[in-house]
A and B are shown apart, each in its own frame.
Chain A
Amino acid sequence: GENVEQHPSTLSVQEGDSAVIKCTYSDSASNYFPWYKQELGKGPQLIIDIRSNVGEKKDQRIAVTLNKTAKHFSLHITETQPEDSAVYFCAAGDGGSQGNLIFGKGTKLSVKP
């Protein structure tokens, strides 16, 4: 089955710096790669997603890149702000008929003012 590895597990940056989180997946049939932000005591919230027919997608300060050949995808946050502090999860759609998502273990991002 699908396996998703996420690195780093913790990331600390200064306000205004960029943050990069990387994920690799194992199932070449996966075709959907969302990123979720989870704040303390809340459920995961989708922040951006990318499908396998696209190599890069941007939404204001957030961008995601996908390399299907290497089976890895990354989240880039520019001009980080303290409110970006949270746990970020990557996930991969298993490419089957059910639309199930396999999640990474998460990255705790801390943005220091």
Chain B
Amino acid sequence: EAGVAQSPRYKIIEKRQSVAFWCNPISGHATLYWYQQILGQGPKLLIQFQNNGVVDDSQLPKDRFSAERLKGVDSTLKIQPAKLEDSAVYLCASSSIQGDSDTQYFGPGTRLTVL
């Protein structure tokens, strides 16, 4: 079974530029998560989708971050404009059961550096 796929793996941009990350979850997984992991810290949830609907985006900085999951499969996370403090690893995870705290499987992440 293929794991969670993410691209690109690395991205370097200047502040105030925009950037987008892509995630393809494990086949059949209805729930998709985007996390931000700042160096030396644990992952922090940004947004959670159930199929193509948003379940929780309470910690998403909506003035600059947006995410979508069209057709309930792939998802993109966008930052516009980027700030220095957005430098982090952006992790995508998926799970097959929503609402039961079931196992989340993580992708390799996208390391973003904002200069």
Contact = CB atoms under 8 A, between A and B. Distances in A.
B48 A100 contact: yes
A34 B102 CA distance: 9
Interface stretch (A54-62, A63-71, A102-110): A102-110
Interface string B68-106: 000000000000000000000001010101111111111
A44 B108 CA distance: 8
A10 to B, nearest CB: 11
A28 to B, nearest CB: 15
Interface in A72-113: 89, 91, 93-95, 97-101, 103-106
Given A32-B101, A99-B99, A43 B45 contact: no
B14 interface: no
A45 B3 CA distance: 11
Given A89-B42, A106-B40, A101 B101 contact: yes
A49 B109 CA distance: 22
Contacts of B108: 41-43
B56 A34 contact: no
Contacts of A4: 42
A45 B48 CA distance: 19
A100 B98 CA distance: 9
Nearest to B41: A105
Interface of B: 4, 31, 40-45, 48, 55-56, 91, 93, 95, 97-109
Given A45-B106, A103-B43, 4 more contacts: A32-B102, A34-B103, A101-B101, A105-B40
17 contacts: A6-B42, A31-B101, A34-B103, A43-B93, A43-B107, A43-B109, A91-B42, A97-B99, A98-B56, A98-B99, A99-B31, A99-B100, A100-B45, A100-B56, A101-B43, A106-B40, A106-B41
